Amino acid sequence: MTMSSSSREAILTVARRAAQMHGYNGLNFRDLAKEVGIKAASIYYYFPSKADLGAAVARRYWEDTKATLDAMRAETPDPRLCLRRYPEMFRRSLESGNRLCLCSFMSAEYEDLPEAVKREVRTFIDINVAWLDTVLSAIDQVSPQNTGRARAIFAAVSGAQLMARSRADIALFDEVIDNYYRTGLLG
């Protein structure tokens, strides 16, 4: 990795953490630069505007999420077990400093986001729903279109994360997810 690409990656990493804690408004170039150990003006070399940085962070987030979901499907060929594993990603954010899913946080700020960031947030949601739809279709091959249920699962799991974060209580997330298992929402 070159010095240039390592600085860019460091900025994206720090910006991701900031956005997971404070949303799009948490992307303050001065604060990010201080944490990375560069001058604030240097961030503009990689990201000419806050909108460019926000879009890059959200894009990287959904790309990482897609890779995680794809790996989960590869590691867990049983679609029922794969569906049961889905909440793990959201739980990991809570385990990491009570952070929220970056795109869930940004969705709450949707009206104030630049269009480029909005597109990346929508892509994150679309990727999750499409993955869930594929897994649900593998479970129930008679009904190959499960988009409505996939959307409900995404909303339910991200909502459970939001509830748990508001109380800084990961056990609450686990309790809500367990209820989803018992009621059949998660297989």
Q: Tell me: pLDDT of 70 over 80.
A: yes
The answer to whether 180 and 186 are in contact (CB under 8 A) is yes
Q: Residue 187: what pLDDT?
A: 76
Q: Residue 16: what pLDDT?
A: 95
CATH 3.40.50.1000 holds for 54-183: no
pLDDT band of residue 3 (cuts 50, 70, 90) is very low
CA 173 to CA 32: how far, in whole Å?
30
Q: Tell me: pLDDT of 139 over 70.
A: yes
Mean of pLDDT values over 82-93: 96
